[in-house]
Amino acid sequence: MRAVPTAMVLLTTAGLAGLAACAGEPTTPVPAPDPPRAGAKGGDGRAGDYQAVAGWWKPAADHDDTWTWGEVSGVAVDTPDRIIVAVWGDRSADGTEREGSSNYLVVVDRAGNVVENWSQWDTAFNKPHQVYINPYDPERHVWVVERGGGRGVHMQVMKFTNDGSELVMRLGEPDHPTSREEARANPNPGPYTYGEPAVLAFLPNGSFLLGDGYWNTRIIKYDAEGEYLMEWGEAGSGPGQFDLVHGLAVDREHRVYVADRRNNRVQVFTEDGAFIEEWPDITDPVGVFIDEHHAVWVISASLHRLLKYSRDGELQHSWGAYGGPGGLAGGVFRPHQIDVDQEGNVYVASWSGGWLNKFTPKPNADPNALIGRGLVLERR
């Protein structure tokens, strides 16, 4: 179940595909922006204390008048000059998928230029859902969660060397459910039989959590070698139940925050899955990012916003604006994953837009309104 193939293909890009593929969420009006600070003049506050870098996201070398990026699903910062981006191949303006796409996993520099294309792994990807670099790993391996579902690609988790030259771990059985109904009919799938896996979170001792995900509605804990340890969760809307696990993060007390997407809430657990509390009425939460200042940032896809909460669940701030057709230039379009570089720049994967936003803090930015680097825990 952890066989490493000798040849695979990685991905690089995505595009302008429809809203339904990462679906199941209501459309909700964008909330009013936070009120401006005293002394501020002009503006409407939609971009918060950040400014988008205009023209930053650029076409790939093989894009033309017909083909552009597919859905941009994930982002992981290595350095400010090396940003790893997950994409669902190439699309045309009408959403047609390009046969033989070679843009599933790409690397861009600080100016948004594509400097690496991991096309050697193209055959391994169909829907790379999110991408990560484990902050506790001195070799900075790159992890990709693949939803599968086409091109002969099955649902899996893959771990690559930082330069993409080698696949060093692969989790996931090729024989997996082919529909949500089939998955939900089996409440006890095996530890490597996934149902559209979605997200990862890492712990200082090398173990990691997998949100599995769209169909299986569970969280699985593995050790550093990918060996199964435990799991929790089931389908439903009660405490400890899920309906689409789409975000995971761990705080300084090793509490686990879960974006329970279709239930429109965040649930909080101990590291071993004991329920602590829920934060209700959070529209379409698709990600949780805890920064170095211990702020809990929740990504709301259909609100096109980033929501800041205290560790007690109190909403403190939000920013972001719809950037799709007719929207704000420099806005986001169903944000899907975020990361922050060592210089404080924020990268937002706009899934429905088919682009990656880069935001820089404004010169007079309020530090309390900015997203810090991802929290790195001390080993217990």
CA distance 168 to 179: 29
What's the average model confidence in pLDDT over 299-322? 96
Whether residue 221 contacts residue 250, with contact meaning beta carbons closer than 8 Å, is answered with: no
- pLDDT for residue 379: 84
Note whether residue 308 is domain-resident.
yes
CA distance 309 to 317: 7
Residue 87 — left, alpha, or beta (φ > 0 → left; ψ -120 to 50 → alpha)?
A: beta
Which residue has 């993409």 as its token pair? 164
pLDDT digits (tens, 9 = 90+) for 10-29: 333 333 334 344 554 444 44
- pLDDT for residue 306: 97
Handedness of CA 354, 297, 49, 377 (dihedral sign): negative
pLDDT digits (tens, 9 = 90+) for 185-239: 988 899 999 999 999 999 999 999 999 989 999 999 999 999 999 999 999 999 9
Note whether residue 194 is domain-resident.
yes
- pLDDT for residue 29: 45
Phi, psi at 370, each rounded to 5°: -100, 155
The DSSP symbol for 30 reads P
CB half-sphere exposure, 195, CA atoms < 13 A: 26
Residue 91 — left, alpha, or beta (φ > 0 → left; ψ -120 to 50 → alpha)?
A: beta
CA 34, 38, 44: angle at the middle one, nearest 5? 40
Task: Name the residue range of residue 181's domain.
Answer: 14-369
Note whether residue 8 is domain-resident.
no
- Here the tokens at position 367 are 């530090």
C-alpha separations of 154 from 1, 84, 146 in Å? 12, 22, 8
What's the average model confidence in pLDDT over 103-128? 95
The tally of domains found in the chain comes to 1
Note whether residue 379 is domain-resident.
no
pLDDT digits (tens, 9 = 90+) for 71-102: 999 999 999 999 999 999 999 988 898 988 88
Exposed, middle or buried: residue 248 (CB in 10 Å: 0-12, 13-18, 19+)?
A: buried
Q: Rounded to a whole number, what is the distance in angstroms from the first to the last CA of the chain?
A: 30
- Here the tokens at position 117 are 């294309």
Q: What is the CATH number of the domain that holds 362?
A: 2.120.10.30
DSSP of 45-87, one letter per residue? STTTTEEE-TT-S---TT--SS-EEE-EEEEEEEETTEEEEEE
H-helix or E-strand spanning residue 182: helix 180-184
- Here the tokens at position 360 are 């820089």
CA 142, 145, 151: angle at the middle one, nearest 5? 115
C-alpha separations of 180 from 71, 242, 305, 310 in Å? 22, 14, 28, 34
Note whether residue 137 is domain-resident.
yes
- Here the tokens at position 202 are 């890492």
CA distance 212 to 37: 41
- pLDDT for residue 332: 96
The residues, ordered by sequence, that sit 6+ positions from 92 with a Cβ below 8 Å of its Cβ are 15, 66, 67, 68, 98
What's the average model confidence in pLDDT over 139-146? 98
Note whether residue 375 is domain-resident.
no
Rounded to two decimals, what is the model's pTM? 0.90
Note whether residue 9 is domain-resident.
no
Whether residue 116 contacts residue 145, with contact meaning beta carbons closer than 8 Å, is answered with: no
| Average pLDDT over all residues of the chain | 89
Note whether residue 1 is domain-resident.
no
Q: Is 167 helix (H, G, I), strand (E, B) or coil?
A: strand
C-alpha dihedral, 198 to 268 to 259 to 229, nearest 10°? 10
The DSSP symbol for 243 reads S
pLDDT at 34 over 70: no
> Cα 86 to chain center, whole Å?
9
Phi, psi at 235, each rounded to 5°: -70, 140
